[in-house]
Structure 1
Amino acid sequence: MIRWLGWIAISLWLLVGGIAHAEPLRIVVAVGHGTGAAGEARLKYPQGDANRVARLFQELGGTTKEHTILLFDPTAEQLYAAFGKAQAMARTRRPDEVSFVFYFSGHGDRDALHLGSSPVPSSEIRRRAFEVPAALRVIVTDACRTTDSLRAKGMSAEAPFAIKLDDGVGARGLVWLHASGDGEAAQESDQLGSALFTHYWTSGLRGAADRNGDGLVSLSESYEYAYSQTLLRSARSAGVVQRPEAQFELAELTPVTLTRPSASSRIALPRDADTHYLVYATGSRSVVAEAYGDLQKSVELAVAPGRYLVHRRAGGKGSATEIVLARRESRQLTPADFHEVAEERLARKGGELVLRPNEVDVGIGLSYGQFRAPGYGARLGFFHNEGGLGFGARLGAFRGQSQSNTYDLGLLGIDVRALVEYRRRFGRFTVRGGAGPVGALLSQSRKRLDAARLEQAGYATSDDKSAVAFGGTVFAGARLRLGGVFYTELGLSLDVLGARLDAASTTSAPDGGTRVRPLASGHADLAAGVTF
């Protein structure tokens, strides 16, 4: 019996090991190169686009970091070394278990990709791709082309809908997706923060191209979507038509699934027609994904967990909403979730748009310094800030108590501050700092420590004084967003004020009189607030 159990255990181990080994391997090489040959202007977005493609395949395309090679402004030798590394990875598995994706964003022409002053022939890219022992190789080049030199190498160029690779496991051979056709320029968009074709291809891979709603995006779906949207956007914006092109030599027209958006966090758009959506990472001008609404189904866009700003344009009007997605969370949006925003603000701000720029907070804190006795206080503040420079005001009240060699000292005060600030957001955290003038109304009470003895002798033992103080302040704060419209903040400030209150606050002047002596005090406070 034990012997049979041993054989069963060994058989199960071999079976599980075989299944685990048969898991498909996808290798991705993503390259961004901003410089080209002499006379070619430096491109703005190749590195960001390469990084975007690499992250997307890690999130949705079954690729791991270990099987992703990301290159920024490489030399030809470094690019060839990356192909060699991909070959070594692929040799650890059977070719029918391996797919290889090569992405390039940069300058190019009909014969080569431009890596600075070093052109890499397209024929060399193709040769090295075929040296990677994989069943399927997908090459995507977002670069300009003047003439199609690859037709002479046995590859056929077709319109987008000619690639009919139905849903399934994979095809055998090579597919080359070009961002532009013969003689056409591959365009960049400052509004999108990306090359045009790459933006729509990655948006499609995040779910905008999922026509049948099965939660998968195939190679053909992603290309058809990128083709139609690139063609439409280029004609509308630049007036220069950009027509992507696909070339392929495939032994088997079997299915190719590039991404699985249903396995990630997702934004489900409202069911509506003629409505345009842009998804930004909050605080960024780069568009994460773009799609149009569909009356028949809710279009879902796969994104990494995080905070996003979704722009909506319909009927000539703009609106936006901000959402936070947890890991694998799906959020269904409705038209009621969006707040109306002027079109020009949407276009100007992008993901830096602040939907609730106003805020009110209350806080309590401690103070210490030359001018204020050690004590405590409370404040009420209002600020208006749209993501960078902002302004606001604070009203505060404080009380302090201290003791000198002669007196018990008490201080009461009310202050008003007009503040200018600058802030930066880092996910849920915001760091801010600023400065401004301060005015305060002060009341000081003093009582002699030996009051009992002096009262018996008939002397005055206490007095009260009041004064108006003026000066300035600098402050800094670190804020944590709690979710929704609420936040909490830890703040520090340093005040320098002057007032004619007592001997400690004045000094002798050359003319024999007195003058105000600037005195400093520091404050730390904890506040809670709401945005609107």
Structure 2
Amino acid sequence: MKRFIPILLAILTACASPSATSREKGGLVPLQLDATDLSRAYTPRRFALLVGVSSFDDPQWRGLRYSGKDATDLAAVLGDPARGRFDQVRVLTRPEETTREAILAALRKLKREATRPDDVVLVYLSAHGTLARDGRGELSRYLVTRDASYRAIPQTALSMDALKAEFEQLPSRRRLLVLATCHSGSGKSLLPQELEVELAGIKSGFYARPLEESSRASMVFAASDWGETAREDESLRNDIYTHFLIEGLGGAADRNADGAVTATEAHDYSRRRTFAFTEGRQRPSAEILEVGADPIILSGHLRRTGQPELFSYHPRLDGFTLKVDGEPRLELPGGAAVGPGRRTVELTKGGAVLVRRELDVAPGERLPLERLLSDALPRRSLSLVGGVFSFVDGARRRTVLPPAPQAGVVLRLEDAPLQNLGLLADLSLGRGRRALQVAQGSEVPFGYTTLTVGAAVPYLWRWERLTLFAGPRVAALYLHRSFDVEAFSGAQRYFTVSPGVVGGVVWRLGERLELTSQAQLMLTYVVVDGQGQAVGFTGGHAGVGYRF
């Protein structure tokens, strides 16, 4: 055998080392990679698509003086190597570039170019906005493109639903949509006369905010809030919101002084300045679903660790005032930078204090204020529950134990051991008498005792007062049966530990009381009449809990 080893090695060497003149496949080719090219291949890129629609084919739409200038002025900031540093800035302002199909085509082209998840993508549109009934009779928002017809808005204008559908298909997870438009019937909008009459009769003052907003990781900034007017200003020679957005990108919006202006910093700066400039008549809005994460840097470089930031864009906190060490800092939504160290943070409205907390904040920390609400609520609860215990298959219910009532207690700890995880411990006891049907018309009475002790680590889904949970569970089952009949007198005992799953729902009635319900499914191994069998058992409980 040993004499064949040198021959085998020679063959392998020949196969792995082709001659310089060989053109056979399978040869090893040395690969040299330039470090600069490799870094460029994986570095996130920065794309901007800026659209300004100033003129319209239909004379019913009045021309806008500064929409094209809005787009070009913003492009100058984003393309500046010292500020925005965007790799590609595309501006669409010419008539042939601002039709509905041209804008959609530009978005689809952007989808083919910005293919990396970490690419930064900014889409900005300055134009008229309007409202119209779509084909289903639903009130929808539209962007007025150059070729939009006043009498056929749904058929010719760009639906915001279609715009957002294209925007959401962008592969990037770091994307920002800025809408310098409105739909109030004045300013940068125009409404059909019949729709103005209809809206004037709505007692709420306008119409309900639709529930169609951006997906996770997206930000949508609007130059005005629902039903308000977005305005151009002759003294600023820009859309008001856009003017202050550009000003903020120059560095004025860097509230935490880290050298970079993020998307939310730029929006908050423009929002405050626009509100003050219009004396409260225009309040730009933001829809940010990736709460707590702001990966989009629009201008500058991170040069130093910034000051701590407190912020919230959660609708639940809109209109609340943020106070730090007793001093009012801002009305939410928005954010504020504070000095590092121990701070007293309050959220107030109309003199009432929603939450007051002592916090240690460190340089560079960004704290979503809605987290204070969950921190303020007790995270432990003890519930008294009642329910039923039963085997899954009918044969076990007939020969071992029919469905039996139980009562017990459930202890639940939230956000332990990790955020959005819980610890669940339950104990249930049942006692009573049942009868086994051994033959047609013949029953054998017996007494029983059931005891189950379970532990689970479920995942928690929380929304306002509602909490859903589900996860793996391990439970111990003790079953005791006692017979006292002529044929047999005695007892049977069984104990087992079983794996399974649990799921349930919790509804908070107040700060302390809650309603809870849960169900579990377990798999165990039971010996009946000398024969081992794999069986499933289940249980369901509901009751009232107290948070502490």
TM category, shorter: 0.3 to 0.5
TM-score by length of 1: 0.46
TM-score by length of 2: 0.45
